[in-house]
Amino acid sequence: MKSIRLHGTGDLRNHEEPIPVAGAGEKLVRVKSVGVCGSDLHWFSGGSIGDAKLERPLVLGHEFAGELEDGQRVAVDPAIPCGHCELCLHGHPNLCLSIIFAGYATQDGSMREYIAWDERCIFPIPDHLTFEDGAMLEPLGVAIHAVDLAHLKAGMTVGVFGCGPIGLLIIQMAKLAGAANIIATDKLPHRVEAAKAFGADQAFLAGTNSEVEEIRAATRGRGVDVAFESAGMQDAVDTSFAAVVMGGKVMMVGIPDEERTSFSASTARRKGLTIKMVRRMKNTYPRAIELVSKGLVDVRSIVTHRFSLDQAEEAYRVAERREG
């Protein structure tokens, strides 16, 4: 089979490798679609993500869908928790210390033609969903988990700071949860327009001197009840803390380039803010499939570019330039 391995910063190479053999409790998936995630770009551009470093040529890719040997079309959860540690037993499999995650550290991902994966993490998808839809269920799962953690209530005002795929999906999920006013910002004009198209009531360019003032004006001077930082950028963090109301919540969804993220302690303390870190997702695939199947969430329109496996490096360069 063909596979694409990352050998170093910006160094993706084609390989011919044996098709894996499914072990006990696994099924062989023929990969039909795989997404390039922002976290994949950390590996591609810097050879690491957080404290995890590239130790050997790695197959990236954790947003994927495909078909089983019997033709069943499936989406695949890239995270395999152990299922028996304290965190798993307490309902937090996304925090499992023994978790196996596709395309991370030493675990090869899905940017190849076949992958053997735990059958507990394989979910059938209906025929009217495309394989691209199936791959997009993973970022949708992150958005679902972020909104779950925020405990949104109907009528709340929400801020989404960073309108890449995750941000656009959070906008849709916040709307479904009953948010009455959704404010979004991004540094890229085409993403500001996308935010409006996907349900933001108002969207502005980020990084301007008037950004926070525009948010306050859009909320009649009040601010947002919940701020979702989904850019992984310090500017977005600063805007989140500045824009949120007294007693509000800041949800840290984005993955920063640097190992540290900072915020004004005096602002957070005076406002009495709740700050939550969003770690991947947990048990979201059945809900994600239902939402997309019933047309309640649009994942298809978020896909802007398509490449063959042989064009993997070009795909990563396009994603790196934030053209999508």
**DSSP result, 116-166:** EEEGGGEEE--TTS-HHHHHHHHHHHHHHHHHHHHT--TT-EEEEE--SHH
pLDDT 10s digits, 20-36:
999 999 999 999 999 99
Two structure tokens written together for 158:
């929400």
Taking the CA atoms of 123, 129, 132 and 138 in sequence, report the sign of the dihedral they define. Answer: negative
Task: Answer yes or no: is pLDDT of 324 > 90.
Answer: no
Two structure tokens written together for 79:
């995270």
**CATH superfamily entry for domain 2-140+283-320:** Medium-chain alcohol dehydrogenases, catalytic domain (3.90.180.10)
Half-sphere exposure in the Cβ direction for 226 (13 Å, CA): 28
Domain with CATH 3.90.180.10 in the chain: 2-140+283-320
pLDDT 10s digits, 125-152:
999 999 999 999 999 999 999 999 999 9
Residue position matching structure tokens 């959070």:
170
Q: What angle do the packed helices 285-293 and 131-150 form, to 10 degrees?
A: 110
CA distance 233 to 226: 18
Is pLDDT larger for residue 243 or for residue 49?
243
Q: What is the pLDDT of residue 216?
A: 93
Q: What is the pLDDT of residue 259?
A: 82
- Confidence category of residue 258, pLDDT binned at 50, 70, 90: confident
- Confidence category of residue 235, pLDDT binned at 50, 70, 90: very high
Domain with CATH 3.40.50.720 in the chain: 141-277
CA distance 127 to 136: 15
Q: What is the pLDDT of residue 209?
A: 86
Helix (H, G, I), strand (E, B) or coil at 230: coil
Q: Give residue 38's identity as a one-letter amino acid code.
A: G
CA distance 130 to 144: 20
Task: Answer yes or no: is pLDDT of 257 > 90.
Answer: no
CATH annotation of 141-277 = 3.40.50.720
Helix (H, G, I), strand (E, B) or coil at 74: strand
Residue position matching structure tokens 């691209």:
132
Task: Answer yes or no: is pLDDT of 218 > 90.
Answer: yes
Q: State the average pLDDT for the chain.
A: 96
